[in-house]
Amino acid sequence: APLFMHSVSDFWRRWHLTFSRWIRDYIYIPLGGSRVPEYRNYINLVITFFLGGLWHGASYTFVLWGILTGIMLSAESFAFRRGWKEWPDSLHGRALRILITYIVFLPSTVFFFGKGLPWCLAAVAQMFAFDFGAEVPATINTLAYGIAGTFFFHLVDEWPERFTALRKYDRWLLPLGSAALILAMTQFAGPGKDFFYFQF
């Protein structure tokens, strides 16, 4: 699931696999992929996602989303080559990587789903100022549920012996927990919208 992403590249390995594989096979690899000098690899990433943004629509917001995604992947590749991936593979190390990925990745999604460039720039400014206005329930609750769920499953994975006693109740805990999560998300969700990709 994309919510368990440890990095931006990990997100793209989990999300929209058809699109990810298509731009990899038909744009990124023909450009030389990663089998080129380091600086050329970064250029290839930006070009690939720039064209991926245009594929979604010929607007400034999609183009900026593509360029920002390419820059993020380039910066991440730069960091990975210099040891960032060497962080301890522990609960704290994974949780920190997830948190950093959310902080870096979420602002770019504003440009993908935004209502125009001025709106997107204002929304990003509000995010960094922690001023969410009337959109607090939809924005904060979605993020909070994602982080809480991710952290819980990491706890279960890291210390399975701590949760052994609960396994005999899993036939009741799983449906009750799922129902509670769905109820909370519907209770605090914003106004409904059509599925994004219906417009393509």
pLDDT tens, residue by residue, 128-141: 776 555 454 455 55
Query: Over 90: is that where the pLDDT of 163 sits?
Result: no
Q: Which long-range contacts link 92-95 to residues 24+ away (Cβ below 8 Å)? A: 94/6, 94/154, 95/151, 95/154
* CB crowding 2-41: b at 16 or more within 10 Å, else e: eebbbbbebbbeeeeeeebeebeeebbeebebeeeeeeeb
Q: How far is CA 138 from CA 61, 63, 144, 187, 189, in A?
A: 21, 25, 10, 10, 5
Amino acid at 161: E
Element (H, E) at 172: helix 170-188
pLDDT tens track for 38-90: 999 999 999 999 999 988 888 888 999 999 999 999 998 998 888 776 566 66
Reading the block at residue 166, the tokens are 């609960």
Rounded to 10 degrees, what is the CA torsion of 127, 130, 131, 134? 80
Catalytic, 154? Answer: no
Helix (H, G, I), strand (E, B) or coil at 200: coil
pTM over 0.85: no
Of the two residues 156 and 116, the one the predictor is more confident about is 116
Q: What does the domain layout of the chain look like in residue ranges?
A: 2-199
Q: Which residue of the set 16, 56, 92, 154 is catalytic?
A: 56
Helix (H, G, I), strand (E, B) or coil at 97: helix
